[in-house]
Structure 1
Amino acid sequence: MSCEYFILTKPGDKSINYDGKNQIMCCLNDKVYILPKNNINYYINNGLFEKNLIDWCKKFCGKDKNMLDIGAHSGTYTISLADHCNHVYSFEPQKMTYYSLCGSVALSNIKNATCINIGLGSEEQVGKQTLNIVSLDGGGSSLHINNNHILQREEIEIRTLDSFNIENVGFIKIDIEDNELQALQFGQNTLKNSNYPKILFEMNSENPQLLDFLKGLEYDIVNVNNCNCNNMFLAVHKSDDQNIIY
């Protein structure tokens, strides 16, 4: 299995020049995204996936705070939000998507992002694990076997979030296909030491254990319904006094 990539350097609302032979899309913009070619028609017509949601998340970042992009994929959140953060730590365990993440960061000349070729999980998962790849663009890849057809398997490295000792976290985006609970359970010191930052997470099916865990840490959970993303949720700690419009 292989995935071809192209370069996107367009904001979602501007025209583009498209060279079909070289699969390069470009216009005047200071951000560069290396993205899977198989989604090219969507990008031509709409720009980035979840662009409205990414723009909404800018209000949760801070120039004096760090961000965690857990399950960074090709880096759309990392690239788009880096200017609004002190530093972004981007975790992506799958090799090909990690390479596109690094390329996007380098071509965008972003100096305040660290790309980490590691997956996050529990202490029991630490070490070598098998990642099940279920799509050509790497999306949906999971440690957990589900009903999706597995195209390929890849050995990846897992560590706990707390083992990185990252401080002063203001915002977390996490999308790691049903391993969110394990990653956050073994990142509790990171959450506590950063005064419980906001957490944006995806939940494609019911996951009462994850919700109960977050509620046990005194997070309120709301469905993000203002950005056409019905499967995205925001966890906001009860001590957080920021007024948020959903």
Structure 2
Amino acid sequence: MGLNQIIRFILSHPMNRGRPVASLARFAAWQVRSRLQDEVIVDWISGAKLAVRRGMSGATGNIYCGLHEYVDMRFVLDILQPEDLFVDVGANIGSYTILAAKVCNARVIAVEPDPGTSRALRRNIAINGIAGSVHVVEAALGASGGRVSFTVGLDTVNRVAQTGDLNTREVALRTLDEVLDGEVPRIIKIDVEGFEAEVLKGASATLHDDRLKAIITETLDQDVEALLTRAGFERAFYDPETRIVGHVPVVRSANALMVRPSLYNAPRQ
């Protein structure tokens, strides 16, 4: 984002409404602190902390706004119960992982293929004291196992390499069904920069188990929606203020939410 986009994002965020001066002061304070310290430990929510370095766009939105992806993060916080299993595919530095394990007391499988980002993820797990609740899988997920080229140095948009990508490394490729080995999560979050359909193709057994109630996906293209629809999921929208899972969008969300029909708690419009 450019500076103007960041400012608009901060001022329009639900957790900053009515507090423009305080919100911009947090932004300014981060710009100063991140230039003076290589790593900043930030107090987050409900006792959680974030270890953040300059340029970690997957974390700075939480500093500016509390919950970067407000609707989706609130859904996780409101739906997950202690001892539920949450799967964070494309965990990055661990924002969702920390919410699930530290705040909700859930168990987490965090999948992050980039070694550098995985180190930052493990650092955040350590400072939050949740190593016993989180299993980190350092691999990409796809329709089959093996090896795959993965981009380097793109922060939150690192991805399985495409034709023309020059700065890449080879990483392990596994399927979600194999990683889970029969366990079934309550919620899966997938943020893999357009590789979502391949991840889902390797999760057929998991998707068809009714114990899986919801999937938060960054990409909801025709292939992704078809795979999830065949597994019994429907498009849904979450309202954090009323805690209603409904059929009509109320608040703008960064990702798409697909749920089992049993999770709806609002009448069909």
1:235 and 2:254 correspond = no
* In structure 2, C-alpha distance between the alignment counterparts of 1:162 and 1:168, rounded to whole Å: 9
SS of 1:37 mapped into structure 2: coil
Question: Deviation of residue 132 (structure 1)?
Answer: 2.2
1:69 and 2:91 correspond = no
Q: Which has the higher strand share?
A: 1
Equivalent pair of 1:70/1:174 in contact (CA under 8 Å): yes
For 1:6, the equivalent position in structure 2 comes to none
Name segments (4+ residues, structure 1) moved above 6 Å: 12-17
SS of 1:139 mapped into structure 2: helix
Question: Which residue type is aligned with residue 140 of structure 2?
Answer: G
Q: How many residues align?
A: 224
For 1:184, the equivalent position in structure 2 comes to 200
For 1:112, the equivalent position in structure 2 comes to 133
Question: Which residue type is aligned with residue 243 of structure 1?
Answer: N
* In structure 1, C-alpha distance between the alignment counterparts of 2:44 and 2:148, rounded to whole Å: 41
Cα RMSD between the aligned structures?
A: 3.0
For 2:168, the equivalent position in structure 1 comes to 153
Question: Deviation of residue 51 (structure 1)?
Answer: 4.0
* In structure 1, C-alpha distance between the alignment counterparts of 2:44 and 2:159, rounded to whole Å: 36
Question: Which residue type is aligned with residue 135 of structure 2?
Answer: T
Matches within 5 A, 1:19-38: 19=33, 20-23=35-38, 24-27=40-43, 30-38=47-55
Question: Which residue type is aligned with residue 158 of structure 1?
Answer: L
For 1:5, the equivalent position in structure 2 comes to none
Question: Deviation of residue 213 (structure 1)?
Answer: 1.3
Equivalent of 2:214 in 188, 193, 198: 198
1:222 and 2:236 correspond = yes
The 1:212–1:32 alpha-carbon spacing in structure 2 relative to 1, beyond 3 Å, is same
For structure 1, the residue ranges without an aligned partner over 5 or more in a row are 1-11
Question: Deviation of residue 190 (structure 1)?
Answer: 1.9
Question: Deviation of residue 215 (structure 1)?
Answer: 1.1
Moved more, 158-167 or 100-109: 158-167
Equivalent of 1:212 in 212, 217, 226: 226
1:173-222, CA deviations, whole angstroms, 9 ceiling, x for partnerless residues?
A: 1111121111112211123345332000012xx62111111111121123
* In structure 2, C-alpha distance between the alignment counterparts of 1:200 and 1:26, rounded to whole Å: 26
Moved more, 216-225 or 86-95: 216-225
The 1:36–1:152 alpha-carbon spacing in structure 2 relative to 1, beyond 3 Å, is farther
SS of 1:34 mapped into structure 2: strand
1:142 and 2:159 correspond = yes
SS of 1:158 mapped into structure 2: strand
1:29-72, CA deviations, whole angstroms, 9 ceiling, x for partnerless residues?
A: 63222334124875553345214531232222122421100110
For 1:8, the equivalent position in structure 2 comes to none
The 1:207–1:235 alpha-carbon spacing in structure 2 relative to 1, beyond 3 Å, is same
SS of 2:91 mapped into structure 1: coil
Equivalent pair of 1:53/1:227 in contact (CA under 8 Å): no
For 1:60, the equivalent position in structure 2 comes to 79
1:163 and 2:187 correspond = no
SS of 2:157 mapped into structure 1: coil
* In structure 1, C-alpha distance between the alignment counterparts of 2:177 and 2:67, rounded to whole Å: 31
For 2:6, the equivalent position in structure 1 comes to none
Q: Which has the higher helix share?
A: 2
TM-score, with length taken from structure 1 = 0.78
Question: Which residue type is aligned with residue 219 of structure 1?
Answer: F
Equivalent pair of 2:150/2:159 in contact (CA under 8 Å): yes
The 1:73–1:220 alpha-carbon spacing in structure 2 relative to 1, beyond 3 Å, is same
* In structure 1, C-alpha distance between the alignment counterparts of 2:122 and 2:138, rounded to whole Å: 10
